[in-house]
């Protein structure tokens, strides 16, 4: 029996599928099957595996053909285009989240790092589904429309450089000071600890950031600091 799904997902992503089960499976998270063992489709992880490879090759081909920059720079640009934050953001823009098959617990757990990864993985699974259903050219068109269009913004704002490096460069250039980071608090058990870190320019606390590691919290603080100082 075919699985019913809100067909507007095809309108949301701009692709009409021949095999509807492919797009349906692309938005099935593993957690949903734990609560619905009789669900007739599998989860999306195999499609994600395929879509990840298709995405990386198409982006790599585009960068290689369009730019003569050194390999290291192209690698950083590609990473900025295909990282989880970028893909989850694109997925949210396309309003795919409302079509996800999630467990009740995952459905409630919004605006978290875990949800970002679920969205990013679903985006890659959708690419895998498009590739199986309609081939290379349609996959390429989809990736150009939704992913590669982000490249000018990334290059203009130097988003291929990590936030800590960008904040340090801006701080040294504008204030003549190398920023420092300080752990302000730690919460939770050792295996689920949340760090709250402040970034300082001299004695000035510019911004704070939270993360599941000190490094992650520092990156979050630096990103917030760029916004606070309007150094983006």
Q: Are 33 and 42 in contact (CB under 8 A)?
A: yes
CATH class belonging to 163-228: alpha beta
- pLDDT on residue 191: 79
- pLDDT on residue 1: 39
Q: Are 81 and 155 in contact (CB under 8 A)?
A: no
pLDDT digits (tens, 9 = 90+) for 164-216: 999 999 999 999 999 999 999 999 888 789 999 999 999 999 999 998 899 99
> Would you kindly state where each structural domain of the chain is located, as residue ranges?
8-156, 163-228
- pLDDT on residue 70: 95
pTM of the predicted model as reported, rounded to 2 decimal places = 0.80
Identify the CATH assignment for 8-156 out of 3.40.50.10470, 1.10.1520.10, 2.60.40.3080, 3.40.50.720: 1.10.1520.10
As a whole number, the mean pLDDT across the chain is 92
Q: Which residues of the chain have pLDDT under 70?
A: 1-7, 111
- pLDDT on residue 111: 66
Q: Are 56 and 82 in contact (CB under 8 A)?
A: yes
Q: Which residues are catalytic?
A: 52, 124
């Amino acid at each position: 029996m075919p699985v019913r799904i809100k067909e507007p997902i095809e309108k949301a992503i701009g692709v009409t599928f021949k095999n509807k089960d492919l797009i349906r499976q692309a938005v099935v998270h593993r957690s949903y099957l734990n609560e619905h063992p009789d669900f007739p489709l599998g989860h999306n992880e195999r499609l994600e595996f395929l879509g990840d490879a298709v995405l990386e090759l198409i982006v790599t081909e585009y960068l290689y053909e369009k730019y003569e920059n050194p390999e290291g720079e192209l690698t950083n640009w590609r990473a900025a285009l295909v990282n989880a934050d970028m893909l989850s953001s694109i997925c949210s823009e396309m309003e795919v989240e409302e079509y996800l098959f999630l467990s009740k617990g995952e459905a409630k757990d919004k605006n978290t790092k875990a949800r970002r990864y679920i969205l990013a993985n679903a985006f890659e699974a959708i690419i895998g589904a498009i590739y199986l259903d309609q081939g290379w050219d349609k996959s390429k068109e989809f990736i150009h429309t939704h992913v590669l269009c982000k490249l000018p913004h990334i290059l203009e704002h130097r988003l291929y450089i990590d936030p800590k490096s960008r904040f340090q460069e801006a701080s040294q250039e504008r204030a003549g000071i190398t920023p420092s980071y300080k752990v302000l608090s730690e919460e939770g058990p050792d295996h689920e600890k949340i760090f709250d870190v402040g970034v300082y320019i001299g004695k000035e606390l510019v911004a704070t950031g939270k993360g599941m590691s000190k490094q992650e919290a520092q990156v979050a603080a630096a990103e917030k600091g760029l916004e606070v100082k309007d150094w983006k």
